[in-house]
Structure 1
């Protein structure tokens, strides 16, 4: 009370003393006070709480915490005056140093009472309009510049590049050699090295269009989608764990990765690519919505049970979605406006929460999708099925004959093989005498001839008949017994309890060697299994001849229904190794087929009624302010929906706005990412930030010309790739030019092709490809790089890989915050943050990993074995390894030194040395 009385009397005294004074002048009386006491924290680049007092418009607007700082005529409602007048206010100002005198406080009060007159033209600095920024301007295709060296350009790109060079009196570099260009473009487009055969074929193709033919071949390769999906997944923070401290496994994230690969391979127009990732559930592309939830998240059981903790976790999850949308599609740090207006770009806090409202019905959960998804998984199903048949045939040839005295495997529900001496017949009958329970059931009866062909198939003319009547036309019909489909849902079942027979008649006589059959080769059912049976062939005189039966099999033990088709120990050592390899492959294939045939889950957007979204003071969910409806930043256009708009309509509207040709960012951002993928750096260095805090483009006219072309050509990524890699700028050599470097040390103007180190994944894949043991199987769950697939800590790296682990590295199981033990040293991201461009560090760990790791040791040994098998002479082996790894012959000096080196240290060590060489690791 005393403090307030003193303050009131002081104010009355100040007011009385000033009653006859002349009006307060801003320049003479007010600005000196602000300069002395406020500018240190609230002027220029220092804007604490987003508040500045050196510019009229900003001072009147206020900061992040309160509204207007100055309310004309109302000192008590003006934070500028109230915070300096009250020494015990929560935000008493200035917080440190000399406080304002009573006279200064009185001057500020009088100035506000008199209307807070701040004349035009007196500000010491001029504030630029943040909306007048190059990236916010509409895309207009500029004219193609003319150049002096008219013979150099191969397309419009070259005119823009050369025009800049000529301005500085620079010239482009000489063209790369054919081998250099082929190596460069092959790595760029598919992430693998060309083979020596491809190099030779390109050198031999001297006809017009040779370069174009190479590019078309690479763009048509399935490897292209794998290569460019890696760039995309870096940006969107894709991983197979949830992140944060718990970092639990996200086992169903991979369908989104497969979707990206397939979409890129199909050259899905980029505008459709965006639409599907935001609203794929409305377009029969459910896996695409995995984009919305690629970032880290805390699951419900991993947060506090109190309501404030839940609200905070929900806010964090929504922020991750807005972050992904802003950085990936728009190249803007929209998320920086979560707690206050953006400090650099014209994005208000309100607009940030309007963006949240578009996705406020999205949850991070698994959802069911149809199987298979897309051409890639359909192709997988076909390839795996065919390979499973091939493996079964190979295994069957190791089974003992029906009359053999050697022990045979027990009958099991999964699969059984009965092999016998070849017999010529037109019909086979499988007669069941007893089962382990109920009526007998067979999912597929396969009869193989000497050529390994299943002649029982209906599509080859096999006709079936059986005892009794069919059980169910939808599941156990007779026609299912030879339709080529495994599993209980496509099987024949007898109507006779414990018995019955089924036969297959062929269109012409066949030499038959073995019969394969099973109760349920998906492994789900073990009942209704034939345990006593006879297999018969129809003789020429019309009599049935027994060719195999169950008597020389071990008795069926239902408690040990294990799959042991062959008694491996009874085979020779050579056969044992082969059979064990086949059995392992068969088990792997069975698991893969089972996954494809089951209902598939994908960790993608799951949608519900949208939350109410409020502006949050300081981003705090416990301090809500006004409710907002979906809307976009005003600087980029106008798209707004009602607060009661449906969930799906919100995401569709957001996608429509992002891909609108009036949106100046979407095309620019993607064209820049494509350019960066080829030249190592984009025309805009900060690929995720096209705002004021980003780096301006080196060639703004070229960026806009390409962006306009991108949209007009139907948003085709492949067309952009063709255009870039067939340009003269891309075809340049990479030789250093000291004079050019003196003017442009970073090669921003592209006076040569900038050398780039390969990504870690490309190095690993290339080593495997050169060895000839790269597994090119596409899609499906990732293979493990560590001994665990999620959890807090303690990830031990796997050092030796089977065939599954020799797939391309994009198919590895990605653990957040855990880089691959070997190739992670080559600047692989940790998947926690968006990686728009991988930096290229040089560390001793990289060299040590490439020389001493178990993986490189093993693969060097594989390559050495291949060389010795293909080339008996040491000189030929050395020539061959140079050709495989470096795509050239060794020089005479290299051959001499390498020969001495191999004699002393071995061929495997030379392979290690070449894998560690800069010539292998860099694109030039």
Structure 2
């Protein structure tokens, strides 16, 4: 029955539209005729409370704009082209509107149709609902500071006075220097530093301490961590295949160096967006610190590629928006932002600025990096010459001489020189599972590896197990060692590889390994043969496992040559060459590690279209690079070259007139000192964020930040020299009843130290902290990436005793002991760390092997420096860890502990004390 009704309605619409003009009624009045229809049938789904498909029909601006799925629903003068009419008369039951109560009457449809054809006249000021002006919000307004002389304290005391409160007394000097030292360098002050400050009665004593701390290289390490939390820095790619991002760390080092150098914040922003134009390639690593899909994780079909590209661009837009502007711009990917004045169109206009950005390893173009690459090339030449001489000491295969055991790290098969264009490596058995090889190298008689892809060689296989960006055939001859760049067969215990050279060569060696880094020993080929093509289709064996010693998966130093059968002089020469080889390998590795960075790679920008519902398969109109309309007027043509687009964006962000940039950064600095910002939601200054507790102070600090030349160190001084910062953390029941969260700062807020500070401080007071800076991170787990199953490293030596900021950060994996202390896993941006108190924290810190080892080391240090007297030991331990002398009661209480359980037990208790774990 329904189709007949629809046919009758649509026929009526057509018939009415064909009436002579003079026979039609007077022009349709929106208020008297159209709005009542909308009220009766439409507002339940498309009104103030509910807006299905993003369409709202109770407000003029929203109704004429349309919903999420298409353009405007009402096209003035064109009823037959208006989607609204389509939904009223469609024969598709799933699309017919309204969905309840049956279709509109023919008369109502005619009224709406005529109204649209007549131009959809909707008078201003007649809407029943007033739409909130989203720009009428404090953060979108210019920075404004009251007239007069100001300081941090004038604003704080004025707000306290409004609530009948006053500041707490000044903290004692030991508490203040510990607070300041933890804040600026993330380590406790030494007893000598505490003594010097306590004795210094000069008016500028506090300023002198701050100046020394700001000049310490430890300062950059401490404050870089705050920044890395926000941009979700990690050393792995994330997503389902959480593979290593081996060259991410140059960005981490860039941030540390930038804070230490007090790089002006406006320049800091420019470098992170367009550092390739200023010789700061590593700085653009910020754009891509989030999880990314790798080529092997993206579907081969074009829609999958387009979606992955959109996801990549979205990560950049979100990172820029929340980090520099404190706005959730990414919310407008599918529709207008529900809270802030950022439209669907604004989002794609922002995306157009970075439409030429991609991700990947790139050569750094700094003088240091170029010099390192040149040095690595020279040393590789020297290494090749040594290897060629060493080859003379390796027994020839198939001669009956006993050769070295098969090793997971490196195996050399040497044979009499033979000329060929093709070589086949066949694996017949493994120690378990599918065989895996990290690099297959074939050397000609001049010592060159001719199996490299860069030398023109191609490789085929019997079949591969592909794990994106980890196990792929292309990694077998890319010149990179290690499990994360290796080939894996798709057959258990067997598989073959065939190398075809660019041209025939005389060869005399094949070198291969399961994992040259020595971390993986499974999947090792234990039976194999190496063949060369002698004539077309005819193969001959030149080496196999038959004359090797029994495989030894535990061999830490695989023998590359054998001294068996050599003269004394020849054996000495071989050992001498091996001694020369090791430092060369280390030097090459070190040089190559500093030459690349995972960062932005730039090309011709994509054309950016507005996408309906964020769907790349529903492109709409072409957009040009522009900032959100509510934030400014910057708009540049689509013909603008890629780098100039990013330059324009960076310059707009750092304009002093931009109300967000300075406010957001000074708020982050304030948060670093008081534990919470003047704006509690540090990365959301929009309407869904929190209002500032002291808006005038925030604007004054932002103004002073700009006036100082965007100096972060000057802002530290301004905050830390205030009376508000010098307050004691003393409780006050009356004040607490008025302001329990201490947002008005009637005392200094107590807060627990961060995970990194706790770990670093334990190492520091134990005398074990390794202060080596920069470079590749140390391992917290048994592997640097993968699907799952990360086994924590429990005992650390060497580089593992460096500051925690230098740890290899595995995305979405928390460090075993200190991850419980709210240390973020880099899965999401962390604008402000939570501060939880849980039983697992106490259990970890009391029982972990790390705590036990550092307690032993702390005790050993105390004994060495204080002697054997128990009282002297306790006094020294208190001074090192807590900056003060123990009380008589403490001496009395802990003496029996040392007597019964030893000094390490006391040290362990100190590490677990609130005084050690909380900022004073």
Scaled by the length of structure 2, what TM-score is found? 0.74
Cα distance in 2 between the residues matched to 1:699 and 1:63? 39
The aligned counterpart of 1:894 is 890
Matching residue within 651, 655, 662 for 2:650: 655
Deviations 1:308-358 (A, max 9, x none): 111111111111111111111111111111122222222222221121121
Q: CA deviation at 1:645?
A: 1.4
Gaps of 5+ in 1: 146-154, 382-436, 439-525, 528-550, 566-585
Residue 734, structure 1, aligned to residue 725, structure 2: no
- Of 874-883 and 678-687, more deviation after overlay is shown by 874-883
Cα distance in 2 between the residues matched to 1:356 and 1:303? 21
The aligned counterpart of 1:6 is 8
Verify the 8 A CA contact 2:55 2:62 in the aligned structure 1: yes
- Of 881-890 and 88-97, more deviation after overlay is shown by 88-97
Q: Please state whether the residue corresponding to 2:728 is helix, strand or coil.
A: coil
Cα distance in 2 between the residues matched to 1:45 and 1:674? 39
The aligned counterpart of 1:443 is none
The aligned counterpart of 1:123 is 127
Deviations 1:554-589 (A, max 9, x none): 833538943399xxxxxxxxxxxxxxxxxxxx97x9
The aligned counterpart of 2:784 is 789
Q: Please state whether the residue corresponding to 1:894 is helix, strand or coil.
A: helix
Deviations 1:363-398 (A, max 9, x none): 1011111467599x99xx9xxxxxxxxxxxxxxxxx
Verify the 8 A CA contact 1:368 1:599 in the aligned structure 2: no
Cα distance in 2 between the residues matched to 1:698 and 1:622? 45
- Given the superposition, is the C-alpha separation of residues 598 and 157 from structure 1 closer, same or farther in structure 2, using an over 3 Å criterion? closer
Q: CA deviation at 1:78?
A: 3.5
The aligned counterpart of 1:558 is 574
Cα distance in 1 between the residues matched to 2:686 and 2:131? 17
Verify the 8 A CA contact 1:783 1:805 in the aligned structure 2: yes
The aligned counterpart of 1:235 is 230
Cα distance in 1 between the residues matched to 2:644 and 2:190? 50
Verify the 8 A CA contact 1:144 1:159 in the aligned structure 2: no
- Given the superposition, is the C-alpha separation of residues 291 and 24 from structure 1 closer, same or farther in structure 2, using an over 3 Å criterion? same
Cα distance in 1 between the residues matched to 2:812 and 2:101? 45
Q: Please state whether the residue corresponding to 1:914 is helix, strand or coil.
A: helix
The aligned counterpart of 2:542 is none
Q: Please state whether the residue corresponding to 1:691 is helix, strand or coil.
A: coil
The aligned counterpart of 1:877 is 873
Matching residue within 34, 38, 46 for 1:34: 38
Cα distance in 1 between the residues matched to 2:334 and 2:5? 35
Deviations 1:498-553 (A, max 9, x none): xxxxxxxxxxxxxxxxxxxxxxxxxxxx99xxxxxxxxxxxxxxxxxxxxxxx998
Verify the 8 A CA contact 2:593 2:776 in the aligned structure 1: no
Residue 769, structure 1, aligned to residue 764, structure 2: yes
Matching residue within 127, 140, 150 for 1:136: 140
Cα distance in 2 between the residues matched to 1:847 and 1:97? 62
Deviations 1:788-841 (A, max 9, x none): 001111100000011110000000001101111111111111112111111111
Scaled by the length of structure 1, what TM-score is found? 0.74
Residue 862, structure 1, aligned to residue 857, structure 2: yes
Q: CA deviation at 1:301?
A: 2.1
- Given the superposition, is the C-alpha separation of residues 37 and 902 from structure 1 closer, same or farther in structure 2, using an over 3 Å criterion? farther
Q: How does 1:189-204 map to 2 (within 5 A)?
A: 189-204=184-199
The aligned counterpart of 1:671 is 666
- Given the superposition, is the C-alpha separation of residues 748 and 654 from structure 1 closer, same or farther in structure 2, using an over 3 Å criterion? same
Q: Please state whether the residue corresponding to 2:43 is helix, strand or coil.
A: coil
Residue 84, structure 1, aligned to residue 94, structure 2: no
- Given the superposition, is the C-alpha separation of residues 591 and 46 from structure 1 closer, same or farther in structure 2, using an over 3 Å criterion? farther
Gaps of 5+ in 2: 377-444, 447-559, 562-566
Q: How does 1:606-645 map to 2 (within 5 A)?
A: 606-645=601-640
Q: CA deviation at 1:90?
A: 5.0
Root-mean-square deviation (CA, aligned residues, Å) is: 3.1
Q: CA deviation at 1:54?
A: 2.8
Q: CA deviation at 1:688?
A: 1.0
Cα distance in 1 between the residues matched to 2:633 and 2:771? 47
The aligned counterpart of 1:59 is 63
Q: Please state whether the residue corresponding to 2:909 is helix, strand or coil.
A: helix
The aligned counterpart of 1:408 is none
- Given the superposition, is the C-alpha separation of residues 649 and 113 from structure 1 closer, same or farther in structure 2, using an over 3 Å criterion? closer
Q: Please state whether the residue corresponding to 1:602 is helix, strand or coil.
A: strand
Q: Please state whether the residue corresponding to 2:643 is helix, strand or coil.
A: helix
- Given the superposition, is the C-alpha separation of residues 914 and 48 from structure 1 closer, same or farther in structure 2, using an over 3 Å criterion? farther
Q: Please state whether the residue corresponding to 1:556 is helix, strand or coil.
A: helix
Q: CA deviation at 1:32?
A: 4.6
The aligned counterpart of 1:533 is none
Cα distance in 2 between the residues matched to 1:99 and 1:897? 85
- Given the superposition, is the C-alpha separation of residues 48 and 184 from structure 1 closer, same or farther in structure 2, using an over 3 Å criterion? farther
Cα distance in 2 between the residues matched to 1:649 and 1:371? 21
Q: How does 1:439-518 map to 2 (within 5 A)?
A: none
Cα distance in 2 between the residues matched to 1:309 and 1:901? 65
